[in-house]
Structure 1
Amino acid sequence: MRASRLVSILLLLQARQPRTADDLAARLEVSPRTIYRDIEALSAAGIPVYGEPGHDGGYRLVDGYRTQLTGLTRQEAEALFLTGLPVAAAGLGLGPVVANTERKLLAALPADLRAHADLLRARFHLDASSWYHGAEATPQLPTVSDAVWQQRRVRIRYQRWAAPHEVTRTVEPYGVVLKAGQWYLVARTGEFRTYRVARIVSAEMLEESFDRAGDFELSGYWQSYLEDFDARRHQGEAVLRVSPEGLRLLPQLAEPAFARAAQESGVVEADGWTRVVVPVEEDGQAVHDLLRLGPLVEVVAPQQLRDRVAGVLEEMLGRYRR
């Protein structure tokens, strides 16, 4: 276990340095004290690693040093082909590059690992797109992703829901995210914003470069964005009665926050139905979401939402009785 951790420290330092003991400890899920002991062990073994004090300090390898760690376990070799990267790379315009990389990797693997990698590719396929929706056209994705790599500002024309519906902005692109088959650009224009790439009408990479905020971390920003998105769109709560069948099917029929809240708040009533409290969006969207559940639920409160659902059902029934 310790040998594996020492190798991981070396690979992390080769990928980016300096790295603090706290950073290494967090990534390897050990204490900083353990990292101190591991660094001492590496140094004693002749690895040219040293520490720099100060705010921007941390552990480094002597310039030019790189270890030749070429041994892969069977599980590690298989994991390389489970990343789903070829799907994302195609959208970024890097499909041929990734294909060539895979071929070179396969050629470099020992025969037994190559056989396992071939089996994995033949038996597992990762598809990041959502059901019932074709892939969005994202002609500006290569331009914005190139700007991300080169750390250059980009001028975009963007279509949005609110008026004015088309705006032009110069942004600092920090990263792109693939979520359920849809691409998003995370960029800063004074503050960080998220843009759906399919709504970028045009994109022009400028000559101007920019300095990235040192504390920005894309995955952390994206998680915060999703949480804030849920908080903004869930403007209220509804009290529902859910049938036993509905409660069983909620994870398949409703979004995760809705289903989770139903499970956590549920109180079984005498007739076997369960009373729950769930987050809902504004009334118009809430009506559409609840009608998808059909006879599996009954809206109890608020009365305004119950009346709107009843009104839509009466209108539908009137049409069918003509």
Structure 2
Amino acid sequence: MRASRLLSLLLLLQNRGRLTAGQLAAELEVSVRTIYRDVEALHAAGVPLYGEAGHDGGYQLLDGFRTRLTGLTEPEAGALALHALPGPAAELGLSALVAASRLKLEAALPVALRERAQAIAQRFHLDATNWYTDGDPSPHLSAVAAAVWEERRITIHYRGWERDVERTVDPYGLVLKGGRWYVVAARPGSARPATYRVNQIVALTTTDERFARPADFDLAAHWQAGVADFRARLVTGHATIRLSPAGRARWPVDDAVEGEHGWCTATIPIESVDHAHGELLRLGVDVEVLDPPELRERMRQTANRLAARYA
């Protein structure tokens, strides 16, 4: 959003001194033309910013000018990343900190930028939960978050797929995925972190032991690699199906071959015959399975049983 980019531009100049339009554009991942417009907006807002032409030129703030982004406490500063996620912030017990830090930031902005930020907040809202849940409540979420931040080792009693387990782990980070909280943690001495759903933690004890978080551990990169691996393992085969116009609206497909009466034929990846059978049944009469034969037969048998049940 532009208000955020203007603030970033201002802080870049404040922290690094003179920068060219090209350097600013590279840092903010926008065009040079956008930088020119942003500089004009800062001028109009009363920011003492000037530019010099030439090889050694660039934009620079007047000596002594500082933004009023001061007064944030350490916890408030730590809550800045959750400004766009009021729901998750509340689940973590950080609503008050997020609200306080937001107010201080808004007070520090020039009037024009403050009004712009408030207008954006009134027009855009991010809700990370899905339609069929009120979130992922867990009595241990705040304790896990504190352990992540303080780098404290925890012992958890965890409800696994087959049995409950007790493990002592070093929590590296928390991830919110599809409205559910996960903690990425490694067992002491292990170089391979595992993922635990926070809502499945039955009991938790925070120990007095601290751990050293690996300096090269990138939470976002680790999570994305795990998601890619999960998706790759899900696809074990493919199915060829026909979809009616209504079915296609509910199940969008790529590279579909158009047929008669608006129906199309497409090949889709499937996890297994069992899983595909359950998923495709949701489309009712708007789908026909052509291949593989075992999936088509499963669908036929189910249709016959349904017809007999409702006869």
TM-score norm. by structure 1 comes to 0.69
Relative distance call for 1:9 and 1:176 in structure 2 (3 A) is farther
Gaps of 5+ in 2: 17-23, 31-55, 70-79
Aligned to 1:312: 302
Q: Any idea what the Cα deviations from partners look like across 1:39-85, whole Å, max 9, x if unmatched? A: xx79xx9xxxxxxxxxxxxxxxxxxxxx94558xxxxxxxx899523
What's the CA shift for 1:29? 5.8
Pairs within 5 Å for 1:108-147: 108-147=108-147
What's the CA shift for 1:270? 5.4
Contact 1:86 1:99 in 2 (8 A): no
CA distance in 1, matches of 2:104, 2:298: 61
Name the SS for the 1:220 alignment partner: helix
TM-score norm. by structure 2 comes to 0.71
CA distance in 2, matches of 1:300, 1:85: 44
Return the letter of the residue paired with 2:297: D
Relative distance call for 1:176 and 1:91 in structure 2 (3 A) is same
- Alignment of 1:8 with 2:12, yes or no, is yes
Contact 1:81 1:117 in 2 (8 A): no
CA distance in 2, matches of 1:184, 1:92: 13
Name the SS for the 2:205 alignment partner: strand
Residues paired across the two proteins, number = 258
Return the letter of the residue paired with 1:100: A
Aligned to 2:266: 276
Identity %: 42
Aligned to 2:34: none
Aligned to 1:34: none
RMSD over aligned Cα atoms: 3.5
Q: Any idea what the Cα deviations from partners look like across 1:205-229, whole Å, max 9, x if unmatched? A: 2222222222221111111111111
Return the letter of the residue paired with 1:279: P
Q: Any idea what the Cα deviations from partners look like across 1:282-308, whole Å, max 9, x if unmatched? A: 222221111112222211111111111
What's the CA shift for 1:132? 2.0
CA distance in 2, matches of 1:285, 1:242: 18
Contact 1:155 1:171 in 2 (8 A): yes
- Alignment of 1:168 with 2:166, yes or no, is yes
Contact 1:156 1:200 in 2 (8 A): yes
What's the CA shift for 1:245? 3.5
- Alignment of 1:299 with 2:303, yes or no, is no
CA distance in 2, matches of 1:235, 1:305: 14
What's the CA shift for 1:315? 1.6
What's the CA shift for 1:9? 8.2
What's the CA shift for 1:149? 0.5
Aligned to 2:210: 209
Name the SS for the 2:127 alignment partner: coil
CA distance in 1, matches of 2:138, 2:15: 35
Contact 1:81 1:120 in 2 (8 A): no
Relative distance call for 1:81 and 1:148 in structure 2 (3 A) is closer
Contact 1:238 1:302 in 2 (8 A): yes
Gaps of 5+ in 1: 13-23, 31-40, 46-66, 72-79, 251-258
Aligned to 1:17: none
Aligned to 2:185: 187
